[in-house]
Structure 1
Amino acid sequence: MQHAFALKLITEPTNSIKTPPAPDLLSPAELEPLNARFAANAKKWLIENAPAPKVVSEWNLKNASGRKPKAIENPFYMHIGCMTDWGRYPVFALGIIEGVARLDWHGRAIDVGGKSTPLSVRRLAVVLESLPVITTDSVMDLLRLETRHASRYVKAVELIIPQMMQCRPESLRNEMEGIKTEPKPCEWEDLDTLSAPSTEELARLHYDLRTLTQFKSAEEYEQDHEDELTGARFINVIGPPIRKQHPKRHEVMGLLAQGLSLSEIERLTGVPRKTIRRWQAETLALAA
């Protein structure tokens, strides 16, 4: 049946096919109140059924009850740090910071297991460099730490600052208190109690410092001294040893010049033919 119905649709002319009537659609004027009603219903449902958001109230120091958070004034703010002459790790304070950092900050009893890791010296120096008022919240924001761990750094800074105030140099003390000091010239006490030499002592000194002219004149000694400093007259005194010449070498070379054979020269001089050949080769090499 389905195939017959499809065949009938194909064979019928196009004009004879009737399209079904379109459904009635709402106009924009009719859609607007409907949209407003849906929005009002959705808002009402969200108010009645949506969970209430958690509101974190900010801490108000004036109105909050209970113990107020600890706030420590940092007198070394803008006086130490990477952008100052003292640097992030001042020499006078480095021992204090390292000593406080190595304290037991975990509060464990004796003979109780666990790893007591010391505080970071770098983080303590960064806190002293960066925060004018040191609190647990400001340390948490600066170092990205939890509340309990940040409170340890606040307590450490509370121990460090009084010790640094006592050990600070005078120049830093004047800088922190706004005292401008004028530079003073260097002054020292002359403790030289030596007396001037007498005429006899000067004469003896000149005699001891005289130039010895037994072998050369004073000008020649001066010239040798200058040549020695400049390296112009450097003479290697220790030279290679001079090799002694064979006593019959001169005679052998004369017989070779006369044209005698090696066997005859060996018979007359007693020098082996091997030695005669070597002398002959050395002479030819020098002549070349």
Structure 2
Amino acid sequence: MSLFLSMLLAGVLVGAIYGLVAVGYTVVFSATGVFNLAQGHLVMVAIMGTFYLTQIQGMSLWVAWPAVIAGVVALSLVEERTVVRPFLRRPGSFGWFISTLAFSLVVEAIVLALYGDHPLTAIPSPFSANGIDLGPVTIVPRRIAILVALVVVVIALEQFYRRARWGNAMRASADDREAAALRGINPNRISQLAFILGGLVAAITGLLIGPLTYSDPTVGLAYTLKGFIALAIGGFGSFRGAIVGGLAVGVAEQAINLYGDPAYELLGGLLVLLIVLSVRPEGVFGTKSLRMV
């Protein structure tokens, strides 16, 4: 039983990482209809940026964090302006699918050129790495911080969408971009704000998960893929769905690690995705789209 509980807890904590990536996806998608396939690479940039500032430049963590957040948000804005916005001007265009993927590959190539393809030491964290025994399970503050961050970020975003003027504008733009423009809502501003928030979520994710593993320039694709699987499970456009989807992927992966072959852990999330889509094609918290015929 203790082994199962440990596996379940590990799955929840790993799933919180995927949930945060899925939240970043959701912020951008819900306002623009774009799946930002560079979301995981923005997380990677946050990890590698923190490594560079703290381990190479010797910068204090409290100075490095704001710098990394600003840098990742700026990179996200560059992506929005150069490879996303041109396609938003063309109704029905899915060119952003290729352009965001290409952007992610360019980012990874640049980071690989700077650091090489070998993992580097983990970045520091303000949270303790010492475990706290709670009966059959042990919790580590560094890992719990990710789960707490996921919940706080989702609550903050939901409140922003409900109460803030710009949040309401983002919801209106998501419902009907052209109608929102007719009401005086600038679609370019909405797109920029969505990518600012998406970059902010990616930066927070990278800062929190960097201390748990080696700083690796090649992890971006893995986070992009697993975050997207979590997004599809939970339902496109749903923040709570992002939480559920992320936790489902994390628990499924840890179950395969415990009872099967860790080499096939990706199958865990894919199996959950297939099961969910066979029952609810729109995802757990997704809504069915209505089409006029």
TM-score class, shorter: under 0.3
Does 1 or 2 have the higher relative contact order (CA < 8 Å, sep 6+)? 2
Larger % of helix: which? 2
The structure with the largest alpha-carbon Rg is 1
Q: TM-score, normalised to structure 2's length?
A: 0.18
Q: TM-score, normalised to structure 1's length?
A: 0.19
